[in-house]
Amino acid sequence: MAGRNPKTSYCEVRKVQFDATGSPKTIGVVAVVRGEESAVTAVEHFERRLTEEEKKAGISYYWAYTSRRIGRGWRPSS
């Protein structure tokens, strides 16, 4: 399998909640961006908007690569 290009690969920004054992449970995908730099920026953006209650509940954000097929035309479900 070929390596991913960090500038053009699609990345999901995921909202997660950590349980008592420290294991993350994905709550949902909040954005799909292109490139690692955009993913890091998006995570920082969402982290700044966490409320104190969410922080106490163990909610956080992280990014992970996703397939090109999922990245194209992605829209948040609202």
In DSSP notation, 6-49 reads TTT-EEEEEEEEE-TTS-EEEEEEEEEEESHHHHHHHHHHHHHT
Does the pLDDT of residue 73 top 80, yes or no? no
Q: Is 10 exposed, middle or buried (0-12, 13-18, 19+ CB in 10 A)?
A: buried
What pLDDT is stored for residue 1 in this prediction? 47
The domain tally of the chain equals 1
Q: Is residue 61 a part of any domain in this protein?
A: yes
What pLDDT is stored for residue 78 in this prediction? 46
Average of pLDDT values for 61-77? 70
pLDDT in tens, 10-68: 999 999 998 888 888 999 999 999 999 999 999 999 999 999 999 999 999 999 988 76
Is 14 within 8 Å of 63 (Cβ atoms)? yes
Residue 54 domain boundaries: 10-69
